[in-house]
Structures are given as structure tokens and as C-alpha cells.
């Protein structure tokens, strides 16, 4: 007990460091992060819809083949008309994965049951040597 009282600051630093190291793992698991290989499996097996939430100029510069473009600002108004079946798997993609993680909440709020964000975004898609096209 004396050790804990004498070294309470070191223990607090160790606990906060451990928490910060675990946050990305916990956050990724809870938010539906998906690997590029997992995305391809969902597309092939369950007819998942790939939604690229980048701005039109980013989308034109390069996007995953078959992706539909709905910019982040228009996601709430256009997702329902683009993907009518809310039970279908939806994969959200952006350049790095940051915007698609935020868009996940919007899609779930709209009632989409099986929506996931592509971890690493288009960069991870390209790193996995998956096809990209330009518009």
C-alpha cells in the first residue's frame, strides 16, 4: 500500500498510457471498421453497396470500381434514394477512413442495419492492390 501512495503519479501515467493504447482497438471494433479483403468478400457474397463519401473532385481523381459517390454533406439526404434496401450491407469509403468513420453514425441514424467503414479508406484499398478507376 505504501508503494501505491508513494508512486501514485507513476501509476496514473501508466494507466492513462494503457488506456490511450487500447482506444484505437476499442474504437475500431465498435465502429464497424472493415479491411479491404473483408469489403471484397461482402461485395462478392452479400452484394454490398460501396458508397464513396469524398467530394466530387476527389471521386473523379480515383475511386474503387463500382463505388457510388455521395459527398459527406449530402449523405443524409441522398443515401436513402441510392440504397433503398436498408438490410443490404453498405460500405462507406473516403480517402483515409476518417470521414467514413464519422459518416457511419449518420447511416445508422437513417436506419441502415449493416453499415461499415473501410479502415484506411482508399489508401488501404490501393495498398491491397484492388482496382481503382477514374471518372
Q: Which residues are catalytic?
A: 94
CA distance 83 to 119: 21
Q: Find residue 84's DSSP bridge partners.
A: none
Q: Output DSSP code: residue 66.
A: T
Looking at 1-135, which runs of residues are DSSP E strands?
Answer: 33-34, 49-52, 63-64, 68-69, 90-93, 115-118, 132-133
Among candidate residues 130, 109, 111, 110, the one with its CA nearest the CA of residue 34: 130
Amino acid at each position: 500500500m505504501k508503494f501505491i501512495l508513494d508512486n501514485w503519479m507513476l501509476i496514473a501515467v501508466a494507466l492513462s498510457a494503457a488506456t490511450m493504447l487500447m482506444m484505437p482497438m476499442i474504437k475500431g471494433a465498435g465502429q464497424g471498421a472493415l479491411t479491404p479483403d473483408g469489403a471484397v468478400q461482402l461485395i462478392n457474397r452479400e452484394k454490398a453497396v460501396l458508397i464513396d463519401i469524398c467530394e466530387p473532385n476527389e471521386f473523379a481523381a480515383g475511386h474503387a470500381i463500382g463505388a457510388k459517390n455521395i459527398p459527406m454533406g449530402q449523405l443524409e439526404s441522398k443515401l436513402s434514394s441510392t440504397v433503398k434496401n436498408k438490410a443490404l450491407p453498405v460500405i462507406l469509403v473516403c480517402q483515409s477512413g476518417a470521414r467514413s468513420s464519422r459518416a457511419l453514425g449518420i447511416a445508422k441514424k437513417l436506419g441502415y442495419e449493416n453499415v461499415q467503414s473501410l479502415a484506411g479508406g482508399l489508401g488501404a484499398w490501393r495498398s491491397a492492390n484492388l482496382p481503382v478507376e477514374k471518372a
